[in-house]
A and B are shown apart, each in its own frame.
Chain A
Amino acid sequence: MNNPIQNVMEKIKTWARTNSPWAIHFNSGSCNGCDIEILATLTPRYDVERFGIKLQGSPRHADVLICTGPVTLQARDRLVRIYEQMPEPKFVVAVGSCSISGGVFDGCYNVVGDISEVIPVNVYVPGCPPRPEAIIYGIEQLLKTLQP
């Protein structure tokens, strides 16, 4: 890693990664409140394209997996599959109270638990539901952790 050319390459890669986080959105059993807030985040009013954030359709194109809700028994396999379909490097942002702790669904017969019980999570955004500003702030925190 002490090679100067490799250092420069790493810097360029980090710069590109922090400036172009493409997101994919997955609901693993949420009440849809957080999803509506995520959609509100993507509207022209908040204009996340300023930061290079773009919603992608395919997990193969995405860098950031934005998860909402607790993980239900039905959704667990799908969530893991979507996560595994994403190419490295990949990051997970858990949005909403339920994705942090299970929220009001904690202990339900059909709920596995929070997101971190199934896949590794990088950033948690609390709130029920969190405001769009909070979601943007959460992604900004994720991008800050990427910088050395």
Chain B
Amino acid sequence: MNVTFPPLIALLLFPGGLFLLASGLVFEYVDRKFIARYQNRIGPRWFQPLADLVKLLAKEEVIPAGTIKGLFIALPIAALAAALTAGLNVPLFGFRPVFSYPGDLIGTLYLLSLMTLCIGLAGANTENRFSIVGATRALTQLFSYEAPFLLALLGPAIALGTWNIGEINQAAGMNLWFILSQPIGFLAALIGLMGKLELPPFDAPEAETEIVAGALTEYSGRGFALFRIGRDVELVIGLTLIASFYLGGFSSPLDFLWKTAVLLLITAALQSLFARLRIDQTVGLWWRVGAILLLVQMLVIIVGSSLAPFVSRLFGG
């Protein structure tokens, strides 16, 4: 849908800002509900994420001794701000991206990984041994999934010859869906998103049974609430990116809803099916399997797209 919004409304209300936060809460609810249904439970009530958020915001924020106070307060804000900024570059709810420039795919991915960097810094900032172990694991995981995730999203971009998210979204609907022509890329992108959000089975950085709550162990109240809502926003943006790249893009809000719901159903199934991987297994999975398969696929795409003109000339195109 080619509707443009006035800049201030787009920034604060719709589709960025407030509406993005609200949809983050809705997506978290749907994710938790799906997992609950997969585990044969009833699951949370519809306002559960909102109640969690308000409760955390109303709680006392303990700033532990031995931390750099300014950094402790600023990191959650930076993480949420980066996630919200990334929301301006993607076709949320099927509308045209609010803000776009050539090559904004790379900028958006950078903004999305700023969240993990902030979590890593937040963990390393405190003196707590559990948060330091969690921060190390979060950053290790960042280095393992980031390159395959980027390669997975670059597949459609190279095949279409543009690195602009809005243009890819439009062009993806006209071609054969990329989930069919690049299935490896689709899987890698989806699993990469799960690694980015530290969802099970990639939740080694916040493994409750080993290291309390990982990098965010010392965060309480406001800071923890901001990190949580930032992660929800990132879930929305990540699903938007994958659905617009691999599921034929969206042209209307309805398209957006059912495509992201299908993706959520798949991620929830993966979350409830698999047990947690050790951090070395996560790294091994990405670099030994994911990256190599993706590089092969990338080679095929580049060779294929450079041979395409010759082939079509050969067959009298």
By the criterion CB–CB under 8 Å, are B45 and A50 in contact?
A: yes
- Report if B208 contacts A (CB, 8 A): yes
Nearest CB of chain B from residue A146's CB, rounded to whole Å: 11
Q: Tally of A-B residue pairs with Cβ under 8 A?
A: 88
- Report if B201 contacts A (CB, 8 A): no
Q: A residues within 8 A CB of B53?
A: 16
By the criterion CB–CB under 8 Å, are A49 and B220 in contact?
A: no
By the criterion CB–CB under 8 Å, are B39 and A44 in contact?
A: yes
Nearest CB of chain A from residue B226's CB, rounded to whole Å: 14
Contact of A58 with B212 at beta-carbon distance under 8 Å, contacts A49-B43, A87-B59, A88-B60 already known: yes
Q: A residues within 8 A CB of B61?
A: 87
A61 to B213, CA, bound (A): 9
> Could you tell me the dominant secondary structure of chain A's interface residues?
mixed
By the criterion CB–CB under 8 Å, are B41 and A44 in contact?
A: yes
A60 to B217, CA, bound (A): 7
- Report if A104 contacts B (CB, 8 A): no
Nearest CB of chain A from residue B1's CB, rounded to whole Å: 35
A19 to B58, CA, bound (A): 13
A60-112 interface (Cβ within 8 A of B): 60-61, 63, 85, 87-89
- Report if A17 contacts B (CB, 8 A): yes
Q: A residues within 8 A CB of B58?
A: 13, 16-17
Contact of A57 with B48 at beta-carbon distance under 8 Å, contacts A44-B39, A63-B55, A88-B59 already known: no
Q: A residues within 8 A CB of B48?
A: 19-20, 49, 52
Q: A residues within 8 A CB of B220?
A: 60-61, 87
Identify A20's interface contact among B51, B62, B209, B221, CB under 8 A: B51
Identify B213's interface contact among A13, A52, A56, CB under 8 A: A56
- Report if B261 contacts A (CB, 8 A): no
- Report if B52 contacts A (CB, 8 A): yes
- Report if B274 contacts A (CB, 8 A): no
Q: A residues within 8 A CB of B50?
A: 16
- Report if B44 contacts A (CB, 8 A): yes
A8 to B286, CA, bound (A): 50
A89 to B213, CA, bound (A): 20
Q: B residues within 8 A CB of A55?
A: 208
Residue among A50, A55, A60, A87 facing the most chain B CB atoms (10 A cut-off): A60
A109 to B39, CA, bound (A): 45
A55 to B39, CA, bound (A): 17
A22-78 interface (Cβ within 8 A of B): 22, 44, 47, 49-50, 52, 55-58, 60-61, 63
Nearest CB of chain A from residue B120's CB, rounded to whole Å: 17
Q: A residues within 8 A CB of B44?
A: 49-50, 52
What residue in chain B is nearest A52 (Cβ atoms)?
Answer: B48
Nearest CB of chain B from residue A41's CB, rounded to whole Å: 13
Q: B residues within 8 A CB of A12?
A: 54
What residue in chain B is nearest A85 (Cβ atoms)?
Answer: B62
- Report if A15 contacts B (CB, 8 A): yes
- Report if B40 contacts A (CB, 8 A): yes
By the criterion CB–CB under 8 Å, are A15 and B51 in contact?
A: yes
By the criterion CB–CB under 8 Å, are B40 and A44 in contact?
A: yes
Q: B residues within 8 A CB of A50?
A: 41-45
B46-81 interface (Cβ within 8 A of A): 47-48, 50-55, 58-62
Contact of A49 with B32 at beta-carbon distance under 8 Å, contacts A44-B39, A57-B208, A58-B212 already known: yes
Nearest CB of chain B from residue A8's CB, rounded to whole Å: 12
Nearest CB of chain B from residue A96's CB, rounded to whole Å: 23
By the criterion CB–CB under 8 Å, are A52 and B59 in contact?
A: no
A88 to B221, CA, bound (A): 9
By the criterion CB–CB under 8 Å, are B43 and A16 in contact?
A: no
A-B contact pairs, 9 of them (CB 8 A): A15-B54, A16-B53, A16-B54, A22-B52, A49-B32, A49-B41, A56-B213, A87-B221, A88-B59
List residues of A whose CB falls within 8 A of some B CB. Answer: 12-13, 15-17, 19-20, 22, 44, 47, 49-50, 52, 55-58, 60-61, 63, 85, 87-89
List residues of B whose CB falls within 8 A of some A CB. Answer: 32, 36, 39-45, 47-48, 50-55, 58-62, 130, 206, 208-209, 212-213, 216-221, 224
A47-B41, A57-B209 are known contacts; what are 11 more A-B pairs with Cβ within 8 Å? A16-B53, A17-B58, A19-B47, A20-B51, A52-B51, A57-B212, A57-B217, A58-B216, A58-B218, A60-B218, A61-B219
